[in-house]
Structures are given as structure tokens and as C-alpha cells.
């Protein structure tokens, strides 16, 4: 064994150890190889490569990834700087000319973006060039070439998505405006309260926040020839223009049928026949009542609707509900109920959009509405409905709603 490590070494190196050590590349060479690997990895991650052109000899040197960006076989060698124009889209030649002119005239790095065609496909590339200066002026150009096709494609997709979203919003706003205008033409909402004999009536139509969910909620409050007051509210299934059209037919039919003087349960039976035989694939809910302002008796029937809430002496609760199923569901008869009201009472009729929410149980919504109804003032029903809506969480994003509040006696007809 040869003691190549010196006398201070614990054991001499064997011949095998010496051969293995001599076969290892020097540290500098290993570091250079590692650096080359890392650079190649960085080029792949950034989809970029480097290039260098000698302005005197015309020779060029490219890294491997530049060949990949241009779709060029390395055996064909790099493209000379003056020949780049042949690989650039004609519409972008101005950008290339400006880039080359700037780099040979200046001393600072310059950049430009243009398109090239690779295997018949357009690619977006960004090129950053920096002059290699010598005492007599620039002798070469060093550059970094990056393929940014994916980035530009993503930007175009995002831009198109934003454009489509904006168009959808504009279309939705226009549709909402048309539907609300149509509803207003069919069912104009009165300003303030309605003054009818011995009563004061306030109404609200609360559209859904989502345009597509505008529906067929409706109300009616009118004095009848015999001195009674018609109070009605309802909701046609579905959303959009079909629901609004069906709502108009149902409400107008009720107005005509009311002139017969028949009780509410009979009116509901006729409306049920209309829905079943003329408004196909449609159902509806409704409450129809007659208020005798002389006797203060409220006679009413319902078809699948929540019962009105009676507020008396600050205490609110639902009226006892007569039997009745959805309009358009069956031929079963509708029940009739009577409630004697007093001076100062407030009666609240509403559709289910007031209390139903996707985020809570309907019983919870009904409890909130009942509690809020207890605060309805007898002399200021209009402002009272605004406070009630705020107390239960504002408009329903999923469904529209109608509210009809009726106050009796005690100067309620005064302004």
C-alpha cells in the first residue's frame, strides 16, 4: 500500500481507493455540471432559454430550450439575427425591427413581444436583448427568449369570461327591468296606503334579489258594490314571464268573479277550475277574504297559503286556518272561516316568499314574521311594513313576496 496521505493518516490508501479517487471529476467540474442541470430545470419551469449572437461574425449560440420554443431541430443550428424576421408573423415585424434597432443603438436591455409560428401554431414569445459592448461599440447581443403563449391564452380566456359575465349581467338587468315593468303594468303598487271604508290598507311587492326568480305574487284590495272590502293575496308557481302571465290571468279572473257576490270559498273553487283546465302545469296559492266594515266580520278561505296574522293589543298570531289545497292540485272543496275584528286590529296577509329562506326553516321565518307583525302600528302601516321587512332579514334572494296589511277603525282612515 502507498501512503499517499502522509504519515499523519491513520491508514494508507489502497490502490483501489486511489483509482476510484482519480476517476472522480474535479470539484469545479462537478459544480459546473450541477449548475447546468439547474439552469436547464429553470428554463423548463420558466419556458425560457438564452441566446447569443455575434454581430461581427454572424454566429449564434442557443440553449436547448430556445430550440424547443421555435420548434427547431438543434442539428439545423440557431437562427441568425437577420433571419429572425422570416419566423415572425408579418403583423409583428414592426415590433421586431424596433427591438433590433434599439439594441444595436443603445446600451440598456430592451424587450418586445411578438408572435412566431411553430408547427403551424401561433406562439407568443417575449424577447429581452442586451448589447454586449466592446471599446468600438456593441460586438454582440445576448438575449432571453420566453414562450408566454399559455399566459396570453389564460388572459384571453379571463377577458372573454369577464366580457360574457358583463353581458350576462346587462342582460339580466334588462330582463329584470322588463319583468318589473310588466308587473307594474299588470299590478301597479299604490303609493302609500289605500283608504277604503273604515280601513287603512298598505301593500308591498318585494321582488326577489335574483332576476331569474321574479315570480307571480299578487294582491288585490278593493271596495265591493255591497259595501264590503275584497282582500286577496296569492302566488303562482314558477318564475319569470310565464309566472307573471299566469298571475295576470288569475288575478283578472278573480276581479271578474268577485262581482257575483259569492263567498271566498266559492271564488277559490272557480279559480281552481281555471288553473286546472286552462293554466296547464301550473299551481298557485291564495287567500281570499271579504271584510264587512259594518259588522267587522272577516270571512275568508285559503288555497295552500299560510294563514293571515292578526295583531290585537300588541299580540300577534295566525288565524285558525280553514281547509284548502293548492289551486290546480285537486277538486276538493275549500273551507270557509270567519273572524270578528275589533277597532285597532291589524290583519297581515302575505305570500310564502316573506318567510321562506333556503338558510332557515319555514317555522323560524314564520316566528320572525309573527314577532315583527306585533310591532305594526295601527296608524302608520306603510312605515310599519318597511320595518317588518327589515326585522325579518330584508328581501328574499330566492323568491318574491307580497304583503297586505289592513288596519281597522279608531281613525285609521285619517291621513
pLDDT at 221 over 70: yes
| Cα-based angle 327, 330, 335 (whole degrees, multiple of 5) | 70
| Cα-based angle 103, 87, 155 (whole degrees, multiple of 5) | 80
Q: Mean pLDDT throughout 282-301?
A: 95
Q: Mean pLDDT throughout 128-145?
A: 89
Question: If one looks up domain 47-147 in CATH, what number appears?
Answer: 3.30.450.20
- Give residue 292's pLDDT: 93
pLDDT tens-place string over residues 23-35? 556 666 666 677 6
The one-character DSSP state at 2 is B
Q: Mean pLDDT throughout 323-340?
A: 94
Residue 361 corresponds to which cell in the numbers above? 326553516
- Give residue 410's pLDDT: 55
Strand partners for 222: 230
pLDDT band at 185 (very low <50, low <70, confident <90, very high): low
- Give residue 216's pLDDT: 84
- Give residue 143's pLDDT: 92
pLDDT band at 379 (very low <50, low <70, confident <90, very high): low
For 38-47, 116-125, 393-402, which range has the lowest pLDDT when averaged over its residues? 38-47
- Give residue 120's pLDDT: 85
Strand partners for 415: none
| Cα-based angle 375, 378, 380 (whole degrees, multiple of 5) | 90
* % of the chain exceeding 70 in pLDDT: 82
* Coil, strand or helix at 116: strand
- Contacts for 219 with CB less than 8 Å, ≥ 6 apart: 187, 203, 205, 232, 233, 234, 349, 402, 403, 404
Q: Mean pLDDT throughout 240-260?
A: 89
Using CA atoms, how far apart are residues 214 and 245, in angstroms rounded to an integer? 12
pLDDT band at 412 (very low <50, low <70, confident <90, very high): very low
Cα–chain-centroid distance for residue 100? 48
pLDDT tens-place string over residues 306-331? 999 999 998 999 999 999 999 999 88
One fold for both 47-147 and 187-408?
Answer: no
- Give residue 19's pLDDT: 55
For 18-22, 202-206, 214-218, which range has the lowest pLDDT when averaged over its residues? 18-22
- Give residue 104's pLDDT: 85
Superfamily of domain 187-408: PPM-type phosphatase domain (3.60.40.10)
Best-predicted range by mean pLDDT (101-110, 166-175, 272-281): 272-281
Using CA atoms, how far apart are residues 165 and 13, in angstroms rounded to an integer? 76
- Contacts for 50 with CB less than 8 Å, ≥ 6 apart: 43, 62, 63, 66, 142, 143, 144, 145
Virtual torsion, Cα 29, 130, 100, 36, nearest 10 deg: 20
| Domain boundary assignment for the chain | 47-147, 187-408
Phi first, then psi: what are they for 276, rounded to 5°? -70, -35
- Give residue 6's pLDDT: 46
Q: Is 353 exposed, middle or buried (0-12, 13-18, 19+ CB in 10 A)?
A: buried
Q: In what order do the strands lie in the sheet with 297-303?
A: 215-223, 229-239, 284-292, 297-303, 337-340
Please tell me the pTM assigned to this model: 0.60
Q: Mean pLDDT throughout 251-258?
A: 93
- Contacts for 56 with CB less than 8 Å, ≥ 6 apart: 139, 140
**Whole-number average pLDDT of the chain:** 85
pLDDT tens-place string over residues 56-109? 898 999 999 999 999 999 999 999 988 999 999 999 999 999 999 998 887 789
Q: Mean pLDDT throughout 197-217?
A: 77
Amino acid at each position: 500500500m502507498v501512503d499517499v496521505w502522509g504519515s499523519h493518516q491513520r491508514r494508507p490508501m489502497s490502490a483501489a481507493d486511489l483509482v476510484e479517487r482519480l476517476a472522480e471529476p474535479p470539484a469545479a467540474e462537478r459544480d459546473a455540471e450541477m449548475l447546468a442541470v439547474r439552469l436547464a430545470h429553470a428554463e423548463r419551469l420558466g419556458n425560457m432559454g438564452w441566446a447569443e449572437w455575434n454581430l461581427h461574425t454572424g454566429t449564434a449560440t442557443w440553449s436547448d430550450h430556445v430550440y424547443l420554443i421555435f420548434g427547431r431541430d438543434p442539428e439545423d443550428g440557431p437562427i441568425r439575427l437577420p433571419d429572425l424576421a422570416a419566423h415572425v408573423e408579418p403583423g409583428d415585424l414592426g415590433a421586431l425591427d424596433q427591438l433590433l434597432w434599439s439594441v444595436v443603438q443603445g446600451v440598456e436591455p430592451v424587450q418586445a413581444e411578438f408572435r412566431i409560428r411553430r408547427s403551424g401554431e401561433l406562439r407568443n414569445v417575449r424577447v429581452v436583448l442586451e448589447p454586449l459592448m466592446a471599446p468600438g461599440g456593441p460586438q454582440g447581443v445576448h438575449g432571453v427568449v420566453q414562450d408566454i403563449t399559455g399566459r396570453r391564452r389564460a388572459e384571453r380566456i379571463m377577458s372573454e369570461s369577464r366580457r360574457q359575465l358583463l353581458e350576462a349581467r346587462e342582460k339580466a338587468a334588462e330582463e329584470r327591468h322588463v319583468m318589473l315593468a310588466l308587473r307594474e303594468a299588470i299590478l301597479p303598487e299604490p303609493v302609500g296606503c289605500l283608504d277604503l271604508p273604515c280601513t287603512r290598507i298598505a301593500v308591498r311587492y318585494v321582488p326577489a334579489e335574483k332576476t331569474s326568480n321574479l315570480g307571480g305574487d299578487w294582491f288585490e284590495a278593493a271596495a265591493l258594490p255591497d259595501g264590503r272590502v275584497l282582500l286577496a293575496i296569492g302566488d303562482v308557481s314558477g318564475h319569470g314571464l310565464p309566472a307573471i302571465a299566469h298571475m295576470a290571468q288569475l288575478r283578472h279572473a278573480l276581479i271578474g268573479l268577485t262581482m257575483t257576490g259569492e263567498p271566498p270559498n266559492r271564488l277559490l273553487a272557480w279559480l281552481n277550475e281555471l288553473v286546472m283546465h286552462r293554466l296547464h302545469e301550473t299551481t298557485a296559492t291564495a287567500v281570499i277574504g271579504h271584510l264587512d266594515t259594518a259588522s267587522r266580520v272577516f270571512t275568508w278561505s285559503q288555497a295552500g297559503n299560510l294563514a293571515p296574522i292578526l295583531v290585537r293589543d300588541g299580540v300577534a298570531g295566525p288565524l285558525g286556518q280553514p281547509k284548502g289545497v293548492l289551486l290546480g292540485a285537486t277538486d276538493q272543496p275549500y273551507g270557509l272561516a270567519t273572524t270578528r275584528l275589533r277597532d285597532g286590529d291589524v290583519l297581515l296577509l302575505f305570500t310564502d316568499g316573506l318567510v321562506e329562506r333556503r338558510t332557515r326553516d319555514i317555522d323560524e321565518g314564520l316566528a320572525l314574521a309573527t314577532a315583527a307583525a306585533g310591532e305594526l302600528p295601527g296608524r302608520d302601516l306603510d312605515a310599519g311594513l318597511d320595518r317588518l321587512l327589515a326585522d325579518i332579514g330584508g328581501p328574499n334572494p330566492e323568491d318574491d313576496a307580497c304583503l297586505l296589511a289592513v288596519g281597522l277603525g279608531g281613525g285609521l282612515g285619517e291621513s
